[in-house]
Amino acid sequence: MARTSEPARSPVPGSAPSTLLAAADVARVVDRMAHQLIERAATADPGSADGGLPDLVLVGIPTRGAPLARRLAARIEAFTGTRVDVGTADITLYRDDLRLRGVRALEPTVLPDAGIDGRLVVLVDDVLFSGRSVRAALDALRDLGRPRSVQLAVLVDRGHRELPIRADFVGKNVPTSRSQQVKVHLAEIDGVDEVVVLDGEP
Amino acid sequence: MKRHLLDATDLDRADATLVLDTAAQIEQALAGREVKKLPTLRGRTVVNLFYEDSTRTRISFELAAKRLSADVINFSAKGSSVSKGESLKDTALTLEAMGADAVVIRHAASGAPHRLASWVKGSVVNAGDGTHEHPTQALLDAYTVRQRLGRLEGVRVTIVGDVLHSRVARSNVGLLHTLGAEVTLVAPPTLLPVGVGSWPAEVTYDLDAVLPKSDVVMMLRVQAERMNASFFPSAREYSRRYGLDGRRMAALPDDAIVMHPGPMNRGMEIAADVADSVRSTIVEQVANGVSTRMAVLYLLLGGSPA
């Protein structure tokens, strides 16, 4: 587990937002996930000189999965010198809870020019919760092409799954209660890198 | 968004922009795909209730709903119980009982969609009512302008022809004004509606004077079926004064575009070489119609409880 620069306080009900990961922790966690991705790609394709990385496509789930995917790709390039394809796949039109939650504005879906057919796709999201977003993303991928295999990378796994879905790469496991919210803030969108836990439903 | 789309003026600037942005994302998400289908409206039912013939609008709505995986029922007044005398209200109640989530209605009577909206629980989309409104046409036109010119704010749009009978003109004036474009109407005095002075648009009779100042020229169809009085002396004279030919097109600024809602009367309001020129967006308008209608159906139906 990543050491935190501030001691991570366990969230107490009724307390103010507590910080799970500060900026330095987010950077360290992303670095560690990048290393794990490199290792896994190499294991999957041990014969190739570049460790199977050209086969790898990181697909971010908007909103915050998209910058996370770009960051992971940048770190992988920094560590290995190999460029990794990045895409984003908006899953809104594939959600099964649109009737419950109402419509939302759509985000772009952009895939690398080489597509995803026959490649190793790693879905990237910020928080893994019920698993319904991931299921929607899998449905979306099925319409976009046929990857060789699909893996899942999340910055935070907070538990409470409603579907049989498990992440392959987890930045941090965070036991939470259902009434809490886990918010990931990223510099690209929110101006600051941090993961906080808030009490109470949205 | 509201529950229904009845008039283009129902949409404020934020809503209209949301529809256009959503259409753009949908178009981009489906571009180059083998499977042009999304599961978004699975299990929802959309009824196309067409009291007036309109193949292109009906097919466009049907395709939009099918690409979102909705079930589509096409109902045309011809050969239905309407010809046996059933009223619009009874038809509406029947559809309601069958569980329609949205009704797309085209009717020869202005205001029919408003009446329908007061009778059914689902969403109502106006697909053209009489000489009143055709909001999805205005949305797809605005989308096409934005796609070609990159903006709508400050764009100078000239709408030419039969404004009196044109729901396309009425909806476009409202929506384009909402989105910040400057609209000029050009028509023979006999084909301008009473009260046009209160519309948010300039009015003139002189096409040649406004062409050099137009970023967009939207030609309206001369609706032969509505020419029940002497609105102009002859087709030839109309064509000479208000038709867009190659010579007039040459007077336009370099990046200006020519639009037409279709179907065209080639040689009447628009010359064949103009319709087929690179400035013409007529084919794009048809394609954009599907994306725009998908956006409208998604925004109206996506969130409402079943």
Angle at B26 (CA atoms; ends B23, B32), nearest 5 degrees = 130
pLDDT at A2 over 50: no
| 3-state helix vs strand vs coil in chain A, percent to 5 | 30, 25, 45
Interface test with A, best of B33, B45, B300 (most A CBs within 10 A): B33
Question: How high is the pLDDT of residue B78?
Answer: 77
Helices (H), chain A: 23-44, 65-80, 98-101, 132-144, 187-190
Given A101, A106, A109, which is nearest B22 (Cβ)?
A106
Helix axes B135-149, B55-67, angle to 10 degrees: 80
Reported ipTM exceeds the 0.90 cut: no
Look at residue A21 and give its three-state secondary structure: strand
Partners of residue B72 on adjacent β-strands:
B46
**Which range has the top average pLDDT, A103-112, B26-35, B212-221?**
B212-221
Question: How high is the pLDDT of residue A6?
Answer: 47
Please give the single-letter amino acid code of residue B10: D
Neighbours of A187 (CB within 10 A): 13
For residue B296, give the chain A residue with the closest CA.
Answer: A103
Question: How high is the pLDDT of residue A33?
Answer: 97
Task: Decide if B25 and A98 are in contact by the 8 Å CB cutoff.
Answer: no
Q: Can you read off the two tokens belonging to residue A55?
A: 């086969």
B149-159 residue pLDDT tens? 999 999 999 99
Question: How high is the pLDDT of residue A97?
Answer: 82
pLDDT at A146 over 50: yes
- Name the pLDDT band for A96 (thresholds 50, 70, 90): confident
The strand pair at A194-198 and B156-160 is best described as: unpaired
B179-206 residue pLDDT tens? 999 999 999 999 999 999 999 999 999 9
B40-60 residue pLDDT tens? 999 999 999 999 988 899 999
Average pLDDT over residues A99-113: 86
DSSP annotation of A33: H
Given A93, A101, A108, which is nearest B28 (Cβ)?
A108
pLDDT at A47 over 80: no
Average pLDDT over residues B79-85: 75
B212-261 residue pLDDT tens? 999 999 999 998 888 777 888 888 999 999 999 999 999 999 999 999 99
Peptide bond into B263 cis (omega under 30): yes
Please give the single-letter amino acid code of residue B141: D
| pTM attached to this predicted model | 0.88
Q: What is the 3-state secondary structure (H, E, C) of chain B?
A: CCCCECCHHHCCHHHHHHHHHHHHHHHHHHCCCCCCCCCCCCCCEEEEEECCCCHHHHHHHHHHHHHCCCEEEEEECCCCHHHHCCCHHHHHHHHHHCCCCEEEEEECCCCHHHHHHCCCCCEEEEEEECCCECHHHHHHHHHHHHHHHCCCCCCEEEEECCCCCCHHHHHHHHHHHHCCCEEEEECCHHHCCCCHHHCCCEEECCHHHHHHHCCEEEECCCCHHHCCCCCCCCHHHHHHHHCECHHHHHCCCCCCEEECCCCCCECCCECHHHHCCCCECHHHHHHHHHHHHHHHHHHHHCCCCC
Task: Decide if B38 and A94 are in contact by the 8 Å CB cutoff.
Answer: yes
Neighbours of B107 (CB within 10 A): 22
pLDDT at B99 over 70: yes
Average pLDDT over residues B83-95: 87
Question: How high is the pLDDT of residue A202?
Answer: 58
A199 touches chain B (CB under 8 A): no
B38 touches chain A (CB under 8 A): yes
Q: How far is residue A66's CA from residue B146's CA, in Å, rounded to a whole number?
A: 26
Given B26, B37, B304, which is nearest A106 (Cβ)?
B26
Task: Decide if B22 and A105 are in contact by the 8 Å CB cutoff.
Answer: yes
Question: How high is the pLDDT of residue A3?
Answer: 43
Task: Decide if B302 and A143 are in contact by the 8 Å CB cutoff.
Answer: no
Question: How high is the pLDDT of residue A5?
Answer: 46
Report the gap between the CA of B291 and the closest CA in chain A (Å): 13
Task: Decide if A106 and B305 are in contact by the 8 Å CB cutoff.
Answer: no
Q: How far is residue B99's CA from residue B117's CA, in Å, rounded to a whole number?
A: 15
- Name the pLDDT band for A200 (thresholds 50, 70, 90): confident
Contact B212, B248 (CB under 8 A): no
For residue A103, give the chain B residue with the closest CA.
Answer: B303
Given A90, A98, A139, which is nearest B303 (Cβ)?
A98
**Backbone phi and psi for residue B171, each to the nearest 5 degrees, phi listed first:** -65, -40
Give B190: exposed, middle or buried? Use CB within 10 Å, 0-12, 13-18, 19+.
exposed
- Cβ within 8 Å of residue B211, ≥6 positions away: B158, B217, B248, B251, B252
Report the gap between the CA of B78 and the closest CA in chain A (Å): 35
For residue A93, give the chain B residue with the closest CA.
Answer: B40
Q: Can you read off the two tokens belonging to residue A50?
A: 């570049």
Report the gap between the CA of B5 and the closest CA in chain A (Å): 16
- Name the pLDDT band for A42 (thresholds 50, 70, 90): confident
CB pairs under 8 A between A and B: 50
Given B33, B298, B303, which is nearest A143 (Cβ)?
B33
Q: How far is residue B285's CA from residue B271's CA, in Å, rounded to a whole number?
A: 18
DSSP annotation of A94: G
Q: How far is residue B170's CA from residue B159's CA, in Å, rounded to a whole number?
A: 10
A165-182 residue pLDDT tens? 999 999 999 999 999 999
